[in-house]
Amino acid sequence: MSGKSCGKRKRRPGKRGSCGGKRKVRRLVLALLVTAVVLFSAIFVYLQAVIDPNLEDISRMRAEVLVTRTINRALSELFQEQTVEEDLFLLKKDENGKTELVQANSIAINILLTQLALNLQEAFRTMDEEPLQVPLGALMGSKMLSQTGPCADVVIKPVSVISTDFRTEFDSKAINQTKYKIYIVLKCRVKVMAPFSSRTFDTSSKILLAETVILGDVPDSFVQVPKDDILDVTE
């Protein structure tokens, strides 16, 4: 009996407990890693949902300013080279020399728009990228903190001209005066490169091309009724 009892191996106390402790540590580390990944993903998704719309709005406003400035410069150079403003209007007069009809010279305007699009395309190709630093407060949409926090570097680059068109408007200025205006409408594609994202969107610019004043006869009497003072007789 004594020999058998002496032959049995005794387990070292604490060996099983140390293995269990290591498992607990590994589980704790794994749980912390999973929690950190989930928390980081949630913060990233939240920041992206908040920052992306604000970044797009800020970039779009800056891009529109940049494109409009480039269009004005190209138009100024084009007018200096060949275009005369009076050529953009077609006037029809009566026997007394009074203007009966004013309309846009669509042929001359379309030629102008074609040349303008070519000049803009070349200007966009050779243009340097426009850097823009946006504070974190502005990206978060805070009005009070819009100028605070670290800045995100954003690069704006006009890419191409999508379409060109023109519109006309009449604007009454006096009893016998009417302004006839010609606007050009250009749609351009702009690329915005920001940290961790890059996007392309379209901008639309409406710019006054030319205007003329149409003079008419002065009427013997003139009555103007304010719209706000008109009685509603339907009640």
Per-residue pLDDT of the chain (235 residues; tens, 9 = 90+): 444 544 555 555 555 556 666 777 777 888 888 888 888 777 767 766 777 777 777 888 888 888 888 888 888 888 776 656 668 888 777 777 677 778 888 888 898 899 889 989 998 888 888 787 777 667 666 666 666 767 778 888 888 888 889 998 887 776 667 888 889 999 999 888 877 677 888 888 888 888 887 776 654 444 444 445 444 444 4
Q: Return d(Cα 44, Cα 41) in angstroms, integer.
A: 5
pLDDT score, position 196: 65
pLDDT score, position 62: 84
pLDDT score, position 221: 44
pLDDT score, position 233: 42
pLDDT score, position 216: 63
The residues near 167 (Cβ < 8 Å, ≥ 6 apart) are: 182, 183, 185, 206
CB 130 within 8 A of CB 138: no
CB 155 within 8 A of CB 129: yes
pLDDT score, position 15: 53
Residue found under tokens 């009685």: 231
pLDDT score, position 48: 67
pLDDT score, position 146: 65
Pick from 187, 183, 179: nearest CA to 213: 179
CB 156 within 8 A of CB 130: yes
Long-range CB pairs of 96-104 (<8 Å, 24+ gap) are 99/214, 99/215, 102/180, 102/212, 102/214, 103/168, 104/166, 104/168, 104/182
